[in-house]
Amino acid sequence: MQQERCSSSDRPLDPGGLLSCDAERSAARLGCAAVDFPVAVVLPAGGSGERMGLPTPKQFCTILNRPLISYTIQAFERLSWIVTVVVVVATENHDLMLNIARKYNHTKVKVVHGGTTRHRSIFNGLQAFSNTTDSLTPKPKVVIIHDAVRPFVEEDLLLKITLAAKEQGASGAIRPLVSTVIATTSEGYLDHSLERAKYRASEMPQGFLYDIIFQAYQQCSEFDFEFGTECLHLALQYCGTNAKLIEGPPTLWKVTYKRDLAAAEAIIKETLSMSACIIAGAGAEAVELAKMLQKNLNMMETDVISCAKESNTEYLSKTQNFIHISMSGSNFSGVPEMVKRFEDIGHTRLYPLVVVWVQLNMTKQSVDSQKTDELTAFMGLASEVIQGNVLLYGIEINHSKVIFLMSYHYIC
C-alpha cells in the first residue's frame, strides 16, 4: 500500500523555509480518518471503442506514452484508503491488462474477465469480492464504480462519494445538462421537451454499500443486463435505495472520441507546467538566486525549500518540476545523487519528471579537462535517465552570467 501523500494544498507555509509538511498532512489525513472502513473500486474496461474509430480500444490508447487506463487506475491507487481496484476487461485483453499493471506498478489491481454488456461486466467485477477466501480481494464495505476512460477524478469528490454511499447506501456524481433534452415521436417529430433545470446528467464515479449493489445485480433481469446503463437505478429498483447525488467538477468528462485523446493530453501537459519546486542549496547566493527565480516565474506556482531531505519526501513525491541550485565546488558532481533521490521518492510518477540543475560558480574558472569530463558524464546521465521518464537539464552560471544551457534533447 502506498504512503499517503500531501493534498493539493500541501505547499510550504513559508516559501523561504524548510517544508515540514506537518500542518499540511492533517488535511490529507482527513480522508484517512473519515474512511475507516474498506473501500474498493470496479473499473469496467471491456469496451471495444467503436466510436473512437481506432483499432485499439480507447482505454488502452496511449497518452504521453502511457495507456489511458493507467492514469485512471493511479487516480485511485494513490489513495491509501482504497484497498483494491478490480479492472474488468474483455478476455482477449486480459494479458494486455496484466502487463500494464506490472509495467506501471499497479499493486492494488486485480484483473477479471468481462461480460457481453456493461452491466454484466460490472457484475463480474462485483463477484470478484464474493469469494471470501481470496485475500487479494477482500469484501469491501463500500465499492466505487467508475469508467476506465475518465482519468481526471479528484480525491475530494471520491471522498464525498464514499462517505455518502456509506451513509445513504448509494451515491453518484451529477453534472448540469448542457443541451435541452427532447422526446421524439416514432415518425421523427418533436413530442415534447424536458425542463432542463429539473434534470441532471448522471456521471461517474458512483458509490454503493457493497451488499446493496451486489444484491441489486443478483436480482437483475435479462433486460437489465442487456439494455440497462444506470447502476443507481438498479439500487433503487431492487433494493429501494435512493442515492445521494453530488455535483461533480467539469473534469469528469469521458474520453469517447479520438479528439478527446488530444484534449486529455493537453490537460495533462497544462497541469504539469503550472508549478515547480526550487531547491536552494547551501550558501546565501543560492538562496538569493532561488528568490529571484521565484519572483520572475510569475506564470507558475513556485515553492522554495532549502534541500531535498527526508522530511520533504511527501511534498517532493507529488512535484514534477524541479530547479536545483548548487554552490558546490565541483561542477554537477551532486547530480547523480539528486536524480537518484527523485527517482526513489517518485517511483509511481505518471508523468515526466523534469530536473533543471543550476550550477552557480562565484569564482572564475577556465574550461579544462575536468570540466569537460563532468559535462560528458552529465550528458551520459541525461541520456540514461530519460529511459525512466526523467528529463535532465543543466545550466552553469559563472559570475552571474549564463555560459551554456544543456539539454539532452538539444544535444542529441
- Cα of first residue to Cα of last residue in the chain, in angstroms, is 39
Among 210, 243, 267, the domain-final residue is 267
Angle in degrees, CA 240, 244, 249, rounded to 5 = 145
Place of cell 554552490: 327
d(C-alpha 246, C-alpha 165), whole Å: 11
Place of cell 451488499: 211
Q: Supply the angle between the helices 210-218 and 118-127 in degrees, to the nearest 10.
A: 130
Do 295 and 391 lie in one domain? The reply is: yes
Do 313 and 164 lie in one domain? The reply is: no
Residue 8's nearest CA partner among 157, 154, 162 is 154
Do 285 and 262 lie in one domain? The reply is: no
Do 256 and 382 lie in one domain? The reply is: no
Residue 4 within any structural domain of the chain:
no
Answer for the pair 239, 169: CB distance below 8 angstroms, yes or no: yes
DSSP-assigned beta bridge partners for residue 360: 397
Residues 16-39 as b/e (b if ≥16 CB within 10 A, e otherwise) read eeebebeebbeebeebeeebeebb
Q: How far is CA 182 from CA 2, 116, 191, 393, in A?
A: 47, 30, 7, 56
Answer for the pair 394, 406: CB distance below 8 angstroms, yes or no: yes
Residue 82's nearest CA partner among 145, 23, 128 is 145
d(C-alpha 399, C-alpha 359), whole Å: 11
Residue 7 within any structural domain of the chain:
no
Q: Which three cell numbers stand for residue 117?
A: 454488456
Residue 51 within any structural domain of the chain:
yes
The values of phi and psi at residue 136, to 5°, are: -75, -25
Do 208 and 357 lie in one domain? The reply is: no
Do 319 and 213 lie in one domain? The reply is: no
Do 80 and 207 lie in one domain? The reply is: yes
Residue 18 within any structural domain of the chain:
no
Residue 304 within any structural domain of the chain:
yes
Give the domain CATH number at 355: 3.40.50
The tens-digit pLDDT sequence of the chain (412 residues) is: 333 333 333 433 333 333 333 333 433 445 666 899 999 999 999 876 565 667 789 999 998 888 999 999 999 998 999 999 999 999 999 999 999 999 888 999 999 999 999 999 999 999 999 876 676 778 999 999 999 999 999 999 999 999 999 999 999 999 999 889 999 999 999 999 998 889 999 999 999 999 999 999 999 999 999 998 899 999 999 999 999 999 999 888 899 888 999 999 998 888 777 888 888 877 777 888 888 888 888 778 888 887 655 556 666 666 788 888 887 655 566 778 777 777 676 544 556 788 888 877 766 555 566 667 777 888 888 888 877 778 888 887 776 544 444 444 433 3
* pLDDT confidence of residue 79: 92
DSSP-assigned beta bridge partners for residue 112: 88
Do 225 and 368 lie in one domain? The reply is: no
Structural domain range at position 176: 35-180+194-267
Do 322 and 396 lie in one domain? The reply is: yes
Do 126 and 70 lie in one domain? The reply is: yes
Among 217, 232, 267, the domain-final residue is 267
Task: Tell which phi-psi region holds residue 400, choosing left (phi > 0), alpha (psi between -120 and 50) or beta.
Answer: left
d(C-alpha 354, C-alpha 346), whole Å: 12
d(C-alpha 159, C-alpha 32), whole Å: 9
Residue 221 within any structural domain of the chain:
yes
d(C-alpha 228, C-alpha 119), whole Å: 7
Encoded amino acid at 393, one letter: Y
Q: Supply the angle between the helices 231-239 and 210-218 in degrees, to the nearest 10.
A: 80
Among 267, 287, 320, the domain-final residue is 267
Place of cell 502511457: 66
Do 249 and 103 lie in one domain? The reply is: yes
Give the domain CATH number at 120: 3.90.550.10
pTM assigned to the model: 0.73
Residue 204 within any structural domain of the chain:
yes
Tally the domains of the chain.
2
283-330: pLDDT as tens digits: 777 888 888 888 888 778 888 887 655 556 666 666 788 888 887 655
Q: How many CA atoms lie within 13 A of 105 on its CB side?
A: 8
Answer for the pair 158, 205: CB distance below 8 angstroms, yes or no: yes
Residue 254 within any structural domain of the chain:
yes
d(C-alpha 286, C-alpha 142), whole Å: 50
Do 213 and 294 lie in one domain? The reply is: no
H-only helix segments in 240-356: 258-272, 284-296, 313-316, 335-345
